[in-house]
Amino acid sequence: MKTQVLAAGEDAFRQAAGLLRAGKLVGIPTETVYGLAADALNPQAVLDIFAAKGRPADNPLIVHICDLAQMEQLANPPALAYELANAFWPGPLTMTLPRKSIVPDCVTASLPTVGIRMPSHPAAAAIIRLSGPLAAPSGNRSGSPSPTNAGDMLADMDGRIPLIVDGGSCGVGVESTVILVQEDRVRLLRPGGVTVDQLRQFCPVEVDDGVLHQLAPDARAASPGMKYRHYAPKASVILVEGSTDAFRDYLVSVQEEGCFALAPEEECSLLPCPAVPLGRKGDDLSQAQALFAALRECDRRGAKTVYARAPHRDGVGLAVYNRLLRAAGFQVVKL
Ligand code: TXA
Ligand code: MG
């Protein structure tokens, strides 16, 4: 199969929606990362997503919608969900809500909840308006860094899907915040573009243990995605916590062949090995935007081991830290 890449626009949206309604898979841009979309109500199309990604069947998909009527078609939302939707949609927040039986089991991995999000990217919104609700995981092969531009998605999906809609680079750069919505509080399952502080303006937020800690092998994950090594380049990643000076001295002591650093752009020239910039120092938004393309860049440049300078965990920084921790398989060096 030849994979076409079409620039976002009416023509591309119509072709994308036609393919989706016919049960095919399409790469779509969102404000977080590119998604691998299929008609959420077509079980065979949804199963094809798992095959194209090489994704374990027990990891549920997020359903993308364009209005609240679609949320009500798919789920039974508590009052708090409407309040959060009003505040954060369209945008990078996924709410897991009690599902209705119309949602195929393969979408939710048979969980009693369905993850729902209304993306703000105009191309995603336009395609959903034409196609209906779309199940879409990130558009990478399972385990790899998520794609934040059409070229990175093509690198993973070339020959596996008929079309990718190119909407440019993603503004947020890390995936949506995933929360379990309860009656009067929420539980954070995955940090993302909407921050804990933003959510706390509306209700209490409990941060699930799986966000910053490795789950015991026999523990039941609140979100199945927590169990897997994720977001990882081919190189091994080690997360390093410490000052700029301590990080540089540590890299001098390491002196390995194929050693790369991932660090804020202001610090790269100070380091004793090849370094790929990870946004600007102390700027969580720019670090999130740069993260996944930077991890892919390390592979392109032949890195064997990537030493990543741990970012601050404030704001969207918590999401950047969480992705690096998983890319590192929880290997952290504290200096
Ligand atoms: O920003 C995003 O969320 C992107 C774009 C494409 O929208 N999508 C994305 O999907 O990151 P994916 O499949 O790569 O990650 C979805 C995460 C997984 O960790 C999955 O386990 C979790 O959300 N999830 C989905 N449905 C869930 C549910 N019902 N209960 C708990 N966790 C759920
Ligand atoms: Mg993913």
Coil/strand/helix, residue 283: coil
C-beta separation of 134 from 64 below 8 A: yes
pLDDT at 213: 92
Q: Which ligand is nearest to the CA of 30?
A: 1
Which residues of the chain are modeled with pLDDT < 70? none
Q: Which ligand is nearest to the CA of 141?
A: 2
How many CB atoms sit inside 10 A of residue 148's CB? 30
Q: Which ligand is nearest to the CA of 96?
A: 1
Over the stretch 229-272, which tens digit does the pLDDT of each residue have?
A: 778 889 999 999 999 999 999 999 998 899 999 999 999 999 99
Among candidate residues 227, 184, 177, the one with its CA nearest the CA of residue 207: 177
Q: Whose CA is nearest to atom 12 of ligand 1?
A: 137
Over the stretch 148-201, which tens digit does the pLDDT of each residue have?
A: 999 999 999 999 999 999 999 999 999 999 999 999 999 999 999 999 999 999
Residue 137 CA to ligand 2 center (angstroms) comes to 6
Residue 245 CA to ligand 1 center (angstroms) comes to 37
CA distance 169 to 154: 13
Residue 178 CA to ligand 1 center (angstroms) comes to 7
Handedness of CA 257, 263, 265, 270 (dihedral sign): negative
Residue 9 CA to ligand 2 center (angstroms) comes to 26
pLDDT at 222: 86
Q: Which ligand is nearest to the CA of 148?
A: 1
pLDDT at 223: 87
Q: Which chain residues have CB less than 5 Å from ligand 2, an ion?
A: 138
pLDDT at 255: 81
Mutate-to-test residue for ligand 1 from 50, 71, 94, highest number of ligand atoms within 8 A of CB: 94
**Residues with C-beta less than 6 Å from any ligand 1 atom:** 30, 32-33, 35, 59-62, 92, 94, 96, 108, 111, 113-115, 117, 136-138, 175-176, 178, 189-190, 223-225
Among candidate residues 145, 148, 225, 137, the one with its CA nearest the CA of residue 180: 225
Residue 206 CA to ligand 1 center (angstroms) comes to 18
Instruction: DSSP for 303-324, please give it.
Output: -SEEEEEPPP-STTHHHHHHHH
Residue 266 CA to ligand 1 center (angstroms) comes to 33
pTM to 2 decimal places: 0.97
